[in-house]
Structure 1
Amino acid sequence: MKKFISVITLSLASFMSSAASVSFPEAIDVLAVNGLNNVDGRYLELDQGHNLIEVRYSDLFEASAEDSNWVRSEPLYLYLDFEVASHYQALIPNIRTEEDAYLFIENPMLQLRDAKGDEKQLSLMTHSQLMAKLLLPQQ
């Protein structure tokens, strides 16, 4: 019985400490959150404060009736700071062709929409860009 109560208490504590949830579109695969690889790839419960989300864009495009091509990005990073508990939806531009996909990969941006409908545009960073952001002094 003590074990059962402990599990419920821990579950409630983790639920109450989460500041936000984010859902991602099908073409965005979540690889890791805050360095942890065992994450649910479409819907995340995130803690209050700073969160680093590693994602990859991948989508399949039909080149012809019998041929198709995968378009995949390298790992990309989204650095978020949540102070207000809300549900957010990550949105990417409408990508219909391989060319659109490669243009997105060259300049990966997404919209983060909160429950009120307010949107914020965010850049997805490459590993090099993330390291520069973290290591170089802010100017």
Structure 2
Amino acid sequence: MKKFIGVIALSLTSFLSSAASVSFPESIDVLTLNGLSHVDSRYLELETGHNLIEVRYSDLFESSAEDSNWVRSEPLYLYLDFETANNYQAFTPSIVSEEDAYQFIDNPTIQLKDGMGGERQVSLMTHSQLMAKLLLSNQ
């Protein structure tokens, strides 16, 4: 009985300490969360405040009946600041061809939909864009 109560208390504590959760589509692999690499690549629980998520886009496209090609991005960075608890789902634009995939990589944005139906578009940054943002924010 003590174990059961302990598990419930631990679950409630982790639920209350999380500000938000984000789930990602199969084409987006989560590499790190706030610098930690041991994360679930489809579903993240985020702490209150600033979060930096490193992701990579990858998808397989058939160029002919006998040939297929992987399209992969370099690491991309998603910088989020969550003040309120909510469950978010990330969506990429419609990507049905290699050309669509390369256009996405050139201008990577995702839609974040919350549990209440709200949406916001968020840009993913390259490493150099992230470094510029960090440098400019410290001035």
Aligned-partner Cα distance in 1 for 2:12–2:24:
24
Residue type at the aligned position of 1:13: T
Residue identity opposite 2:100 in structure 1:
D
Unpaired runs of 5+ residues, structure 1, are: none
Percent identity of equivalent pairs: 76
Aligned to 1:48: 48
Measured after TM superposition, the shift of residue 109 of structure 1 is 0.5
- TM-score, structure 1 length as denominator? 0.91
Distance 2:8 2:33 in 1: 24
Displacement of 1:7 in angstroms is 6.4
4+ aligned runs moved over 4 Å, structure 1? 1-11
Q: TM-score, normalised by structure 2?
A: 0.91
The match for 1:89 is 89
Aligned AA (2:57): Y
CA shift for structure 1 position 59 = 0.1
For residue 14 of structure 1, report the CA deviation from its aligned partner: 2.2
How many Å apart are 1:15 and its aligned residue? 2.1
Secondary structure of the structure 1 residue equivalent to 2:104: helix
CA distance in 2, matches of 1:85, 1:137: 26
**What's 1:76 paired with?**
76
Aligned pairs, number: 139
Counterpart in 2 of 1:119? Answer: 119
> Does 1:30 find its partner at 2:37?
no
Matches within 5 A, 1:104-115: 104-115=104-115
Match of 1:15 in 2: 15
The one-letter code sitting in structure 2 at the alignment partner of 1:67 is: D
SS of the equivalent of 2:80 reads strand
